[in-house]
Amino acid sequence: MSSPSVSRSRGRFIVFEGLDGAGTTTQMQNLARWLTELGTSVETTKEPTSGPLGGVIRQVIDKRTELHPAALALAFAADRVDHLTNSVNGIEGHVRNGSWVLCDRYLFSSIAYQASDTIDTAWLIEINRFAPTPDLTIFVDTDPDICMDRIRSRSGNDELFHDEGVLRRALSVYRHVISDGRLAGRLVVVDGNNKVDDVASDVSAAVRGWMQEIG
């Protein structure tokens, strides 16, 4: 099958979502290489960011400091505002200039990991109401036990969300939000339990089909 051409007139915003250990970073990098080979301008990024607000969040994730869950949710939302609008490297500016921005985690992750008995999903959506819907969301659907095996094999760090119970709850929320049908834009679900190359093939095939649809 011939590769679709990529429009140079406007950028697109593609988000990868999934549990820690699902392989979202790897799959984002693989898609970035594929799109670059097609001749398009690609920017890759992630949340939390490497900016000042993202740095505070990373300290919480690394268990070097603590925040109340509501404060952490607000920190993620604030980091997202800067991520989108920053005049130097903001997502919205890149898209306006014609680049395709690939982001490792976005709004779905905030909802999946922060929703709890004390933090309401509707409130999380409300504090992120400024966040534009991605053109495409790719959910890498991976079993929590496989995610934990991958986490243990790559890092000995005891991070905030590196717990199988947390991952199972997050996956349940992910699936609930997906079934709701909002916030994702066009949604693609791939089986993250497969080998890396097989997942990459599934991602590229899905994106190829989507690109042919949008022209």
CATH pick for 12-47+99-214 out of 3.40.50.300, 3.40.50.620, 2.60.40.420, 3.40.50.410: 3.40.50.300
User: Could you give the percent of the chain with pLDDT greater than 90?
Assistant: 80
Q: Are 173 and 121 in contact (CB under 8 A)?
A: yes
pTM given for the model: 0.92
Q: Is 215 a residue whose pLDDT tops 80? A: no
* pLDDT tens-digit series, residues 61-83: 998 999 999 999 999 999 999 99
Least confident interval from 35-44, 106-115, 146-155, 197-206: 146-155
- Across the range 46-55, mean pLDDT stands at 96
**Single-letter code of the amino acid located at 210:** W
Q: Are 24 and 16 in contact (CB under 8 A)?
A: yes
* pLDDT tens-digit series, residues 130-186: 999 999 999 999 999 999 999 988 866 677 778 889 899 999 999 998 888 777 789
How far is C-alpha 175 from the chain's CA centre?
Answer: 14
Task: Decide the pairing of beta strands 186-191 and 100-104.
Answer: unpaired
- Across the range 197-211, mean pLDDT stands at 97
Q: Are 38 and 127 in contact (CB under 8 A)?
A: no
The pLDDT, as a whole number, for residue 1 is 36
In this predicted model, which residue has the larger pLDDT, 63 or 5? 63
The pLDDT, as a whole number, for residue 21 is 93
